[in-house]
Amino acid sequence: MTVSQPLLPLIRNPEGLEARLREIPGEPGVYLMRDDRDNILYIGKSKKLRSRVRSYFRNSQKLSDRIAMMVRQITEIEFIVTDTEAEALALEANLVKQHQPYYNVLLKDDKKYPYVCITWSEDYPRIFITRKRRMTKEKNRYYGPYVDVRLLRSTLHIVKRIFPLRQRPKPLFKDRPCLNYDIGRCPGVCQSLITPEDYRQIVQKVAMVFQGRTKELIETLTAQMQEAAENLNFEQAARLRDQIKGLRSLHADQKVSLPDDTISRDAIALAKNENHCCIQLFQVRAGKLVGRLGFFAEAQSAENGAILQRVLEEHYNRVDPVEIPTEILVQHDLPESELLAAWLQSRKQRKINILSPQRQTKADLIEMVERNAQYELERTQRFADRNTTALQDLADILDLPEVPKRIEGYDISHIQGSNAVASQVVFIDGVPAKQYYRHYKIKNPHVRSGHSDDFASLAETVQRRFRKYKDNPNLPRQDDPDFPDLVMIDGGKGQLSSVISALQDNSESPLLEDLKIVSLAKQREEIFLPGESFPVETDSEQPGVQLLRRVRDEAHRFAVSFHRQQRLKQGRRSRLDEIPGLGFERQKELLAHFRSIDYIREASVQQLQEVAGIGPHLAQGIYKYFHPNTDLSSE
């Protein structure tokens, strides 16, 4: 049996790289970069494909650390030629939305700013605030990220007071609506007292608020109120009047002085230093500031104008065409402003003006946006300095060759062995990266109620986490963004020893040679290293020790929360779950027919068969479960 060799990265194969670059034309189009597993790393566009792709591999080309890491993984480059640059931009946007490549996200998503999510994928959409954009369901819409969290929560509170909306993710009662229905806060979604079509019309109005179309919504509601009054439907007219009054109060105290209040415009500016870049985008509609969005990017990723252009491309690619303003004010000239304007115009079907104002009121607006971005940059820098100091101190404490970029923390949670679970948390550059968090259900049969074993549980967890590296000793580790620079185990010498034993192997490339593992004991905040009898001499108030404590506390919090979920899920299990062949849907039919498990217990086999989906064999099984000593053959 022949084992296929992994593809060599192009940067390590000069002849293959040069041959591939010669095949790429100098026309406009889109390029796709893949790794040795055929995963798409990056999708880009250019008006001259060959020169753009070649720029990634020039030694003189200054690349950011992130892009340099990507280049080291490229094994194949594909391209799609288009007729125009505008077509290339539109194609790039569609491909990025479809494939979501890891390195295509210029903007850092550190969960600092929240979004508003409307779950259009559901019959009765929910509206809530979240700090995570989940792209698993295409129909769901996200608005943001919003800088002013307090104003966002206030807006959502007012909106839910104005419009009758679904208030709970799950019904409070099975057979009747809750108090929110009685006081007019909810239209009775849980009992389907309103059709999905009518309810979605209400949510459409709410979406207009977060699209910056409050003025348009007020005009629509005003026309409906007048029509209701003319038809002598005064109750409906009064409700619409109250909604209009509430909407007018949303931005009553916000006014931006501009010469033309009828034009919808966005203003974008950035502030950056050597390490960080903070971008803010102000949404001005009818002379009012209706939204203030914030973004982060790598400072060295591109020139100022190119960063602003990329932010605008990513932002407008996520919004509906109706949300695109007719005027965009930018702090710096964009390198491809005409291309961006043409693409936006094709989406909105209206002319889009992109301006870089230098004087008068529009320049003052840009200056105000830049000032706000500068304040956010200073706050970000203070936070980053604290993390940098802690990471450097931790590297000194543990005698690491480099500052650890990715730190993973592990902990176990259970109650006397029952519902034992483990947590894996990830800190990148000293900041929690919750998108990489994982939890594990402990499968060890010896860990059960009344018999706990944290040593075995931790050993099982790290074995499952690093199994692919043990099974494939030649798998690259240094360039793998998922491979940690440091692993922290919650516990003392015993927990650390069990983990080390679980990861030991006799391969040519032992895993433990590349993996740095420590443990942190709770009582005295002591750090233990593998093979050492005594803890590392540290001060519990050192920045590096405090960082490890933050990792340990987060791992503990995440483990406990998952353990509680498992206990709650077990507590909610019905006795019907124990009946073989009785699935969830048939359980619902039984409960809907008999109203309670007590009535199901008292029912005869014939009565059980009256329920849809319950045949003779299953009915006998249900009856036998509740009456184990009954001989059905004699009946």
Residue spans of the domains in the chain: they are 10-104, 265-379, 404-570, 575-634
> Interhelix angle for 304-318 vs 85-99, to 10°?
60
pTM over 0.75: no
The secondary structure of 427-453 as a DSSP string is EETTEE-GGG-EEEE---TT-BTTB--
- Pairing of β 517-520 and β 486-490: parallel
With CA atoms as reference, report the closest residue to 442 among 469, 426, 424, 430. Answer: 424
- CA distance to 298, 333, 350, per residue, from 128 (Å): 29, 36, 32
Ranges 42-56, 240-254, 444-458, 484-498: which has the least confidence: 240-254
- How many angstroms from the chain centroid is the CA of residue 69? 23
CATH 3.10.20.440 for domain 404-570, yes or no, is no
Structure tokens at 22: 């010669």
Q: Write out the CATH class of domain 10-104.
A: alpha beta
Q: Which fold has domain 265-379?
A: Nucleotidyltransferase; domain 5 (3.30.420)
- Pairing of β 486-490 and β 406-415: parallel
The secondary structure of 529-576 as a DSSP string is -TT-SS-----TTSHHHHHHHHHHHHHHHHHHHHHHHHHHHHHT--GG
Are 480 and 510 in contact, with CB atoms under 8 Å apart?
no
- Report the 10 Å Cβ neighbour count for 128: 12
Q: What is the pLDDT of residues 345-392, one digit of tens each?
A: 988 999 999 999 888 888 889 999 999 999 989 988 888 888 889 999
Q: Using CA atoms, how far apart are residues 251 and 394, in angstroms rounded to an integer? A: 47
Q: What is the pLDDT of residues 34-76, one digit of tens each?
A: 988 888 999 988 889 999 899 888 864 567 677 788 888 999 9
Structure tokens at 190: 């849980």
Binning pLDDT at 50, 70 and 90, where does residue 2 land?
Answer: very low
Dihedral angle sign, alpha carbons of residues 169, 175, 178, 180:
positive
Ranges 43-57, 171-185, 268-282, 341-355: which has the least confidence: 171-185
- CA distance to 124, 208, 210, 291, per residue, from 118 (Å): 10, 12, 10, 17
Please check whether the two domains, 265-379 and 575-634, share a CATH topology.
no
**Biggest CA pair distance of the chain:** 97
CATH 1.10.150.20 for domain 575-634, yes or no, is yes
